[in-house]
Structure 1
Amino acid sequence: MVSHSKSRILHILNYLWQNTDAEHYATTADILTYLDERGISCDRKTIPGDIQKLCDIGVDIEEERSRENRYSLSSHLFTLPELKLLIDAVESSKFITTKKSTELIEKLSQMSSTHQATELKSNLYISERVKPMNEQIYYLVDNINTAINHRKQISFRYFHYDQHRKEVPNNDGKRYRFSPYFLVWNEDHYYTVGYSEKHQKIGTFRVDRMKEVNILTADAVEKPTDFNLPEFTRQVFDMYDGSSETVTLLCKNDMMNYIVDRFGDAVETSPIDYEHFAAVAEVSVSQTFFAWVFQFDGDIQIKSPELVVDRYKAMLTNALGK
């Protein structure tokens, strides 16, 4: 058996990281067995000193002194609820492939003890129904992020799907030239926000529709000093491109959650009868707003102004092909 005094403390830390947490302890005998299996000679009197050295550099180790001392790494980098939240986000994301989801979840699980990792993955199900197939997305994101950090332009090809679900290149297959400012996550998709040379204005591109992203040597076009990202994304992603109107909605009582989710908890509401209430809100009259109302199958109705009601009726008529 070879002595490995220099690496012994790291082995002890690794063992505590993998096998202990606030509810699971390791005894001195457990640690000695682990070290022995790795050819590291040590006696039980050495362990408390090694543990103390770890504590001295800030490792949070809980010690229970008794005939057989017990130790645990009482705090990992993430708490169990935090890891569960991250894992659920990865699992449900339509942007991350099934293969990459599995890899990321495994890595996240390693941020906890093996006991907690088992608990984290016990009810896990990764659905392939809405997962993408393109593993290149992660490299695209990395290139865009690098360009943002170094304030460089990028070039890329962009595509859309035709009626046969085939990829069709945009811009006649020519490369776009773009100065990326931000990466934005919206509705389970990644977008890059920046200045488009082709469109001569700030715009967005969906990352999963981009191909062959190259970082250029040219410096990015400077972002306008008054550029407001939250306002820009609100306009672009919520499609607030219609005229602004004060609209009254007639809603069934169990629709209140949806009204608050859409317009905020300061929205003006008033009871109408035992089953309904009215909500008054400033909205951008657009197809997005009409589609939002339509999904509730009459439980939320547009009552005024008449001009908005007529536009909604016209949209429904067009949708029926009449």
Structure 2
Amino acid sequence: MSSSPLTAAPSTAQIVIEILELLDSRTDSEHGLTAIEISKSIGVSEKTVRGHLKALHDMQPFGRRVEHLERRDLAKAESVDPKPGWYIEPVFDTAQMRLLADGAALSHSDGEYLQDLIAKIYTFAGRSGQLRGLNQLATPKNYNTEFLNNIELLNDAIEHERAIRFHYCTYDINGNLVPRLDSSSSPKEYRVDPYHLMYKNSKYYLICHMHQHDSLSYLHVERFRGLTMSSTDHSLKRTLDSFSPVPGTPFNVTQHMNERPYPMNGKAVPIHMRIKGTLEPLYDWFDQATVTQISDAEYDVHIVANERATLWWALQYADSHFIEILEPQSLRTMLHDTGQSLTQMYQEP
């Protein structure tokens, strides 16, 4: 009489993988699994599971902590059913996932792209349900099905210094994005040297040199259509450093954008102002200001910024009457002329 073949015992690697998958799919910082529950789920002894859990705790696989939740750790838990036991921390926490999800919404990708991004967010964050609600992102009206592919192309073009070509969109009468047209009513093609991608004022900008201009440009990435890049490395017409305000020195992109509350070309200059009341409008837009308090609620302020961008910034607070530009005179003149224009436009008949 022959005996039935014995089932081969799982290997150490297989056991570890099954433990990690179980922790990843069923635990979070307020819900753990006991060694007994894990052993029953994967069909090995509790002693074996405990040994592997201790090893995982010490080694932090993929940079993720494997910890044991005690009842005292759950004293301030927000969920209604917290549970002690072993858990693995997600790659990103909920706040980081929220930022990634909001960034996806800002991208103006279409619904399919957004759902794909959300699926990846869940994969990286752990699938235990602690991120419920991220799938409630709404599809923007003017979505761009090319957005993610464009980002990949732009990253490659920037890294390899390759010039790019594309069509750039504007709005039609119904608020839909449509390509700009040339003199023959065909979609106009732009040729550009790409330098840097940056979020500012809830927009994703490409800082670049458009070949038809002599200055930097700041383009909304979600408006790109039909993007292609040169097949040749180092094919830029101009380098970013060629725009440096100090010839022969590297161009500082971060400083450049900090000097512009609204992205626009033109040099940055010293600006002197007086602010009464609160400094929130200042530091919400300029994080490198120099401030001296002159009284309980009055401040002497110096910044370095683009004049026209500062004009736009000051005008949005004009009805509060607590910001006065003292220097330069050219900016005071711009504010004066704008005020006169508004007076003529809105004066009573």
Indicate the TM-score class for this superposition, using the shorter chain for normalisation: 0.7 to 0.9
Alpha-carbon deviation of 1:99? 5.0
2:27 aligned with 1:20 = yes
Q: Is this contact kept in 2: 1:61–1:71, CA < 8 A?
A: no
Is 1:298 aligned to residue 338 of structure 2? no
Tell me if the contact between 1:152 and 1:218 (Cα under 8 Å) persists in the aligned partners: yes
Taking structure 1 as reference, are residues 287 and 164 closer, same or farther at Cα in structure 2, changes over 3 Å only? Answer: farther
Number of equivalenced pairs: 304
Distance 1:124 1:320 in 2: 48
Q: What TM-score do you get using the length of structure 2 for normalisation? A: 0.69
Give deviations 1:34-56, integer Å, cap 9, x for gaps: 33xxxxx5344443344456457
Q: CA deviation at 1:171?
A: 5.0
After superposition, where does 1:1-322 map in structure 2 within 5 Å?
Answer: 5-6=10-11, 7-35=14-42, 41-51=43-53, 54=56, 58-59=60-61, 60-62=65-67, 72-90=86-104, 93=106, 95-97=108-110, 100-115=113-128, 117-118=129-130, 120-121=131-132, 126-127=137-138, 132-163=142-173, 165=175, 167-172=178-183, 173-199=187-213, 202-219=216-233, 220-221=235-236, 223-225=239-241, 226-234=250-258, 237-239=262-264, 241=266, 244=269, 246-251=271-276, 253=277, 255-263=278-286, 264=288, 266-271=290-295, 276-282=297-303, 286-296=307-317, 297-302=319-324, 304=326, 308-319=331-342, 321-322=344-345
Residue 287 of structure 1, CA deviation: 4.4
Q: Cα gap change, 1:179/1:2 in structure 2, threshold over 3 Å: closer, same or farther?
A: farther
Q: Deviations over 1:96-151 (max 9, x none)?
A: 55554444344323434555x33x335985355x6642221111111111222333
1:294 aligned partner, one-letter code: L
- The Cα shift of 1:15 comes to 0.2
* CA distance in 2 between partners of 1:77 and 1:279 (Å): 45
> Which structure shows the bigger proportion of residues in strand conformation?
1
Q: Provide the rounded CA distance (Å) in 2 between the counterparts of 1:265 and 1:153.
A: 36
Distance 1:44 1:200, change over 3 A: same
Matched AA of 2:31 = H
- Gaps of at least 5 residues in structure 1 are 36-40
**Structure 2 alignment gaps of length 5 or more:** 1-5, 71-83, 242-249
Q: CA deviation at 1:315?
A: 0.8
C-alpha distance 245-193 of structure 1, shift in aligned 2 (>3 A): closer
**Aligned CA distance change for structure 1 residues 74 and 201 (closer, same or farther; 3 Å):** same
Range with greater deviation from structure 2 (304-313 or 150-159): 304-313
- Percent identity, please: 19
| Counterpart AA for 2:253 | L
Distance 1:168 1:101, change over 3 A: closer
Provide runs of 4+ in structure 1 moved above 6 Å. none
- What code does the residue aligned with 1:302 have? E
SS at match of 1:5: coil
Q: State the distance in 2 between where 1:22 and 1:184 align.
A: 33
Distance 1:187 1:260 in 2: 14
Counterpart of 1:61 in structure 2: which amino acid?
Answer: V
Q: Provide the rounded CA distance (Å) in 2 between the counterparts of 1:63 and 1:292.
A: 51
